[in-house]
Structure 1
């Protein structure tokens, strides 16, 4: 993916900012700059940018549990700030930025100011040797080599020659940044699925009405089923469609990971992982019955195709207990290693 070309601007140097990255800071720093420039700001307070860095990465760390790497201070800062500021994992970006931009909490201020020694001057490395922060201030204030911005103690000033370019191409520049960020984070999370869709909080989750129709057929044919968690009898119209492995990890609604569940339990389960030794057998039996019933009653049902994403066919020898469990065990292990908690005995 290439950045839009503009004559007399060193766009190649802007692209080079994301070469040889060893942390997520530069990605979120640039995304934060773009947000402010889109709002018409060219003189931007550093603390506001640091707060935006936290807000942009908040959902990825707290909800999806994507690892930024053991040495990444941004992830560590988020975990500390969440506790210090009593912010929820689904706090919206505006609330986070407002809270952090005006915080008086010394611990939070310390976490934010850490990035002042790591990000603003190092981002300018493609334009000039930027290891020395003091020299970087001098070079940047002279807009050496048409660098992106000038550095000052508490703020940055966007180089006037870049302002129109940033505004005009903001969407493409963000896509370029997220594309590089996704590649970087995939190397840190090689077994975690769908990293690109875990970088931005989706405003609306898709409903599961179509999947519910699938399970309505199964439940009707079986004259009701028992919730695998609470043993409550479930009938059509009185159950929730539940992700066995949390959506926050798998990031999809494929039918082989969905089952009917007690609605009150489903809301309390949240993004907890199931203990396979306790819950996998009843989960498997329910799925096995579902495949057999749908193949008989609605053989053209599109959701049967979902099973073919993990199995070569719908024959019994491929859908046996051991083969099915072998698909789930690695996911549970990886999710647990990334910070997802296990469901406690119900």
Structure 2
């Protein structure tokens, strides 16, 4: 049986679907820089910070380490706080690397050398397995997140490449998931037809009838509320939170479901809101329900809400964006979501 990678069946997709590179940077401004020392807890009582979600990129560790050291530089941190998406994509932010303190630049140089060595080891391992002639320098070109022609120092071009690669890879990640799902559906149908072809005429008719019955049974499900609508959120408020729908308050709802408390709905937090709706259609115990299809539907729901609510396209929904969406006429519409 053809099976999708784990990333396709996990309910919380990686970007995936946590804080992506650009979103992580843009969210720095929501983190308080100054701390009231009188309110600090003793160290033994301090909670460990929440673990950030892996982006799923093959250079995730390198990406995060670069961010970590850039955040430590006061000048660069200030620029990050005031950066917008256009500045980041156009490479304006990358040029600020020229003003980063020497000790941080030295550490970035070290990180780049380690990443270059990691890539060389991967290439060598591939070469050893294939036992063929490999142009290592040519293979390094496929790793576009750094400048392989200068393997020793971390320069403006490296930061620009890293930003552009992460932006492009993460923006295309959903498309790759959709494409993987299409391949899964095609393979599933191919296997079904091959199975029918090897059956007798009588068994084939019986199998076809059973298949149509399962399709009809799957289609007969309760109404699915439009993702992000008032009815959909109120259902979560009532069924998942155990609260009276008459007392529904969007601001309170947002804070309750902002699970990491950063002031934003990231992609995984949004996807978690659709579980109740998906349970109306999919049940892992039912023969007719495919859980891989459920995750594709979850992705469709999240994409729809992001397109409607994420006005600055940073792959995060801020409280202000969320509140603005609840004031639109579409928020109160009662239309049903059509499951694909």
Question: Greater relative contact order (Cα 8 A, min sep 6): structure 1 or 2?
Answer: 2
Q: Calculate the TM-score normalised by the size of structure 2.
A: 0.29
Higher helix proportion, which one?
2
